[in-house]
Amino acid sequence: SAVISQKPSRDICQRGTSLTIQCQVDSQVTMMFWYRQQPGQSLTLIATANQGSEATYESGFVIDKFPISRPNLTFSTLTVSNMSPEDSSIYLCSVEVFSGRTNEQFFGPGTRLTVL
């Protein structure tokens, strides 16, 4: 298994500012994922972050808006840039761990972002 922490747990930000969310894992992992969960909605993948390479973004998400860093195998950051109220969501970090014959994903507690 993996224990994941995220900082901050929540924040209220002003329009036009940026927020960086940190994700820390208690073990080394290759694959890290960033998801967005808009109010009352399901989770949507923003990007996949591998250590040592550029993040891979899903359709509808761009690096200028959501820059990601992955400096080592236990840490990643997601920045939400030039925020607008539409960015108000929960942002979740997830890691993939080998568990027996299969891979399993574990999630952080999420960061609740409110943009005014």
Whose Cβ is closer to another protein: residue 13's or residue 90's?
Answer: 90
Reported residue count of the chain is 116
Residues in region 40-99 near another protein by CB under 8 A: 41-45, 48, 56, 90, 92, 94, 96
Whose Cβ is closer to another protein: residue 82's or residue 103's?
Answer: 103
CB atoms within 10 A of CB 76: 26
State the nearest-atom distance from the C-beta of 101 to another protein, in Å: 8
d(CA 10, CA 108): 13
Backbone angles phi, psi at 103, to 5 degrees: -95, 145
Give the footprint of another protein on this chain (CB under 8 A).
31, 33, 41-45, 48, 56, 90, 92, 94, 96, 101-107, 109-110, 112
